[in-house]
Amino acid sequence: MNRIKILLVLLLVFGRFINVYSQELKLNELEYFETQGVNILVYNNLFTGGFNDEKTAGIELIHHGVRTAQGGAVRLSNTPEQWDLVPAIPTRKLNRESQSVESVLRYEDYNFESRVVVSAKGKGVEISVYLDKPVPEELEGKAGFNLEFLPSQYWSKTYLMDGRINRFPRYVVGNSTTTPHSEKLKQFKGYKTYDDRGTGEYIEPLPLETGRTLLIAPEEPSRMVKIQSHNADLMLFDGRVLAQNGWFVVRSLLPEGKTGKVLTWTVEPNAVEDWVREPNIGFSQVGYLPAQEKVAVIELDKKDEPLEKASIYKIGEDGKATEVFSGKIESWGDYYKYHYVKFDFSKVDSPGIYYIQYGNFKTNNFIINNSVYDKITDATSDIWIPIHMNHMFVKEGYRVWHGEPFKDGYLQAPPNTDHFDLHDQGPTTDTKYEGLELIPGLNVGGFFDAGDFDIETHSNISVVENFVQTWEYFKPLRDQTFVDQEARHVVLHRPDGTPDILQFIEHGTLNLVAQAEIIGHMAQTLSNSVLYNYHHLGDAASLTDGLPYNADLGPYEVAADGQSSGVKDDMWAFTSRNPSLDLRAATMFAAASRALKGYNDDLSERALFQSKRLLKEATDLLAKQPQDSTSREWASVADISTNLQLYISTGEKQYVERFEELLWPALDRNVSFVILTALHGIPHMDASYKEKLRPYVVKYKDYINELENSNPYGVPIGLGNWAGSGIIVNFGTTISFANKHFPDIIDSSHAFKTTDWLFGKHPYHNYSLVATLGAARPKEVFYGNNRADFSFIPGNVAPGILFRKPDHFENYDDWPFLWGQNEGTIGGNTSYLIFGSAFKNMILSKK
C-alpha cells in the first residue's frame, strides 16, 4: 500500500514537472519567446517616426491568440499618447545560448540611452533595464519602463496588487492631478499638444494601485499575467484618463543617479494547459450565388489535427436544421502562424439558409440566393459617404451627424511648419498669401478624409475619380440623399430628384477647383493647426469656434467686434506645391468635367480649364527635376491617366499620343500597377490597342495564379502598418474590368475572392469587414469619428487584417482605436463603391 502511495506521489510530482517544463518559454526560429498559447515579441515591431506611438510595437504579448499587451519600453510619461516621443531602437541582438534579446533604446532629444535585456525565465521572461549613464536630470522622475495592456480584454476583470483585490473599470474612473506646462516635458515631436486651449495646465493621471507584485485576471486563465518588480514599485495607470485610445499601463520609474542594472521585472503570462486555438472558419457572411464557387478556408492551430470532413446544414422553414452536404477537407498548408485547410461546398446550390459544421464548431448562418450581392454598396453610398461631406450640415432622422464645419475658413500655413499628419509647409507658402493670412473661399465642398475631419487632397482626388468612373460606366440613378449646396444642408434617406452620385461628384469637385483657382495649384491638405483638436471626436462643427485666432486676446476671449478669438483652433492650408499632385488633379478634373456637363456646366468648364493648365505647368516643373527622382516616377503614372482622361474629354490627338507613349513602358515595368488604367482606355481606342494589350492581360493572369500559391485566399495580402483591404479591392476591380474586356483570359470567379475576403473569408476571425453588411456577423466597431462610442458608421470598410511581424495577423473587433486595421477612409470606401458596382455589373452580365 505504501509503495502505491509513493508511486502516486512520484507520478504527481513528475506530472507537475512535465507541465511546468512544457510551459517554459523558448526563443523560436522567428526570434520571439514562445510556448503553446504564449508569444512574447521583443522589438520585432519597432516604433515609427510617423505617428510615433501606434500601439503596435515594443515588447508585445500575444496571449492565446490575441495581442493583449504592447509598448514595453522605456518611456517618458505615465500614460503615453499617440504623438508622445518614442525611443529609436538602433540595435537588437539575439543570444540563443542565454535565451535573451538585447536592444538599445535611445531618445536623441535628450541624449539618453538605455539597454533592455529580455531573457527566458521559466514560465515567463525577465526584463532588465541597464544604464551606462544615470538618467539625465531633466528626465528624473519621468523616465520609466512601461508595459501596456489592452483595456477591452481586461475591463471588469480583477487584479491584485500585493494581495489587494481590485477590478479594472469598464469606463475610465481613475483619479488625476494637474501639472503646470513649465513642468511638463515638451516631448510631442515639438507640438505643444498639452496647451489645451490655453488653460495653463496639463492633466496627469494618478496610479490606480502601487506595489511590487501585480496579478492580472486570476479568474481568467487565458488572460492571467503575473508581474513582479524586484527593485522598484509597480504603478498601474488607466491611460484612458487622457485619451479614449489609452491602455492600462504598468510602470516603474528608473532610479536617479544609478548605472548598471537599474530595474528588473519578471513577467509570467499563464499558459492554459493543452490549449489549442479554436478553428477560424472563413466564409462569406453576405452569402453566395447558387452557381458560384463556394470554398471555406479554415484556419487551424498547428497543433490541431485537421478533420477529414465538414458538413453543410440547411435551416428549414420549420426552424429545424438538416445536413445536406458532407465533403472532404483538403490541406492547403502553413501560412505564417497557422495551418490552413479548405472545404469546397460548391455543390450546394439551392436557395436557402445554411451553416457550416466542422467537428464541434458551428458557424452562424449565411444565405444562398441570386440576390445576395444586390445591396452590397447601398450603406456606403446612402450613409457613410454623405455623412463625410465637409462644410455641410448633415442630418439623419432625429440624429444630427454634424453641423456645418469650418465656417471660419482656412489660414495659410506658415513657412517651415511641420505637421503631425505627415505634412509640412516648405520654406515659402508657394502662394500669394502670407503665413496665417485667411485664404478666402476654400471652405466649400470636399469630404472628410477618415476618422478625422481634414481634407486630404490626394484622397479627395481619388474620390472624385471613383465617383466619375461609377457614373460613366454604370449610370447609377439611386437617389436617397437630399443635398442643397446653397443652404449647405444634407438629409439622409430623403430623395431630391437627382442621382446621388452626381451630387457627390459636384461636392468633391467644388473644393478641388477652389484650391486650383484660389491657391493656384493643389494644397497638400486642409487640416488642423494644433494637435489637440486634430484628435477631436464628436461633431466636426465644434472642432473650431468659427473665429480666426487673435494672438492679442487671452484664452477664450472674443474680440469686441466678434470677428476673432483667443482660441488656437484654426484650420490651415498646407500649400507647398507638388507637381505630381497637380498631375493627379488634372486627371480628375478632366474626368469630372465630362460627368458634370449638363448638370453643372459652369463647374464642368472650370474643371476642364484647370485640367489643361495644371497638366502643362506640372509637366514643365517635373522636367526640371532629376530623371531618377521618385517624384518623376510617380508622376509618370499619373501622367498616363491624365492624358487618357483629357483625350476622352477633348478628343485631341496630342493627348492620346502621349498616353500610349507612356503606357507601354509602364506596363513592361509593372503590369499589375498600371493594367487597370490600360483597361479603362479600351472603349476609347481602336481595335489594335486592345490586341496590343492582350499579352499584358495574360501576364496579369500569371500574377493571379501566383497569388493562389502564395496564400490560401488567393488575394494580394498587405503586410504593412496599414492593412490590405484597399489592395484587395483594387485587385477585384481590375479583375471585373479585365473579365469584361478579356473573358477568354480572366475568369470572373477570381473577382469573388475579393468579396469573400471582405465579407469574412480571411485570417484571425470571420467577420465582415464592411459595417452592417453580412447581417449574421459584421464587425461591430470601427475607427470612425464616433469611435469613442465603440460603434460604427454604416457602410464603412475596414482596412482589415493587420500583420504584425513576424507572423501574427489581427483585427480587433472590441477595440476600435487602431487606425491601421479599423479606420475606413473616403478614398478606400469610394474604391469599394466602384468595385461593388463593377462586380454587380459583372454578375448581371452573366445572367
Which sequence spans correspond to the domains of the chain?
A: 4-269, 280-368
Ranges of residues in the chain with a pLDDT under 50 are 1-21, 188-198
Cell triple for 197:
486651449
Q: What is d(CA 448, CA 10) in angstroms, rounded to the nearest whole number?
A: 68
User: What's residue 677's pLDDT?
Assistant: 95
- The angle formed by the CA atoms of residues 517, 504 and 379, to the nearest 5 degrees, is 150
Identity of the amino acid at 124: G
Q: What is d(CA 102, CA 128) in angstroms, rounded to the nearest whole number?
A: 9
Full-model pTM: 0.94
What residues contact 280, with CB distance under 8 A and at least 6 apart? 298, 299, 763, 764, 765, 766
Which residues on adjacent β-strands are paired with residue 102? 93, 117
Q: What is d(CA 313, CA 364) in angstroms, rounded to the nearest whole number?
A: 11
Residue-averaged pLDDT of the chain: 92
Q: Is the peptide bond before 806 cis (omega within 30 degrees of 0)?
A: yes
Element spanning 230, H or E? none
User: What's residue 636's pLDDT?
Assistant: 64
Find, among 277, 401, 290, 386, the residue nearest to 345 by Cα: 290
- The angle formed by the CA atoms of residues 127, 248 and 779, to the nearest 5 degrees, is 115
Find, among 292, 295, 325, the residue nearest to 310 by Cα: 325
The residue with cell 473650431 is: 544
Query: Within 23-168, where are the H helices?
Result: 151-154
Find, among 354, 385, 335, 351, the residue nearest to 285 by Cα: 354
Check for a shared fold between 4-269 and 280-368.
no
297-334 burial, b at 16+ Cβ within 10 Å, e below that, comes to bbbbbeebeebeebbbbbeeeeeeeeeebebebeebee
Which residues on adjacent β-strands are paired with residue 527? 572
The residue with cell 489592452 is: 150
Query: Within 199-257, where are the H helices?
Result: none
Query: Within 166-253, where are the H helices?
Result: none
Cβ–Cβ under 8 Å, residues 831 and 726: yes
CB count within 10 Å of CB 614 equals: 26
What residues contact 83, with CB distance under 8 A and at least 6 apart? 51, 52, 53, 188, 189, 191, 193, 420, 531
Q: What is d(CA 637, CA 615) in angstroms, rounded to the nearest whole number?
A: 13
Helix (H), strand (E) counts: the chain = 16, 41
- Beta-sheet pairing, 88-95 with 100-107: antiparallel
Cβ–Cβ under 8 Å, residues 464 and 607: no
Q: What is d(CA 74, CA 736) in angstroms, rounded to the nearest whole number?
A: 50
pLDDT in tens, 162-190: 999 999 999 998 788 877 755 555 554 44
Cβ–Cβ under 8 Å, residues 387 and 793: yes
pLDDT in tens, 315-355: 999 999 999 999 999 999 999 999 999 999 999 999 999 99
Cell triple for 646:
483629357
pLDDT in tens, 787-827: 999 999 999 999 999 999 999 999 999 999 999 999 999 99
The residue with cell 502516486 is: 8
The CATH fold of domain 280-368: Immunoglobulin-like (2.60.40)
- The angle formed by the CA atoms of residues 591, 846 and 838, to the nearest 5 degrees, is 25
Q: Which CATH class is domain 4-269?
A: mainly beta
Element spanning 323, H or E? strand 321-335
Q: What is d(CA 576, CA 621) in angstroms, rounded to the nearest whole number?
A: 13
Greatest Cα pair distance in the chain: 103
Cβ–Cβ under 8 Å, residues 189 and 49: no
Cβ–Cβ under 8 Å, residues 51 and 159: no
Q: What is d(CA 50, CA 457) in angstroms, rounded to the nearest whole number?
A: 19
User: What's residue 339's pLDDT?
Assistant: 98
Cβ–Cβ under 8 Å, residues 545 and 498: no
Q: What is d(CA 276, CA 271) in angstroms, rounded to the nearest whole number?
A: 11
Q: What is d(CA 82, CA 242) in angstroms, rounded to the nearest whole number?
A: 11
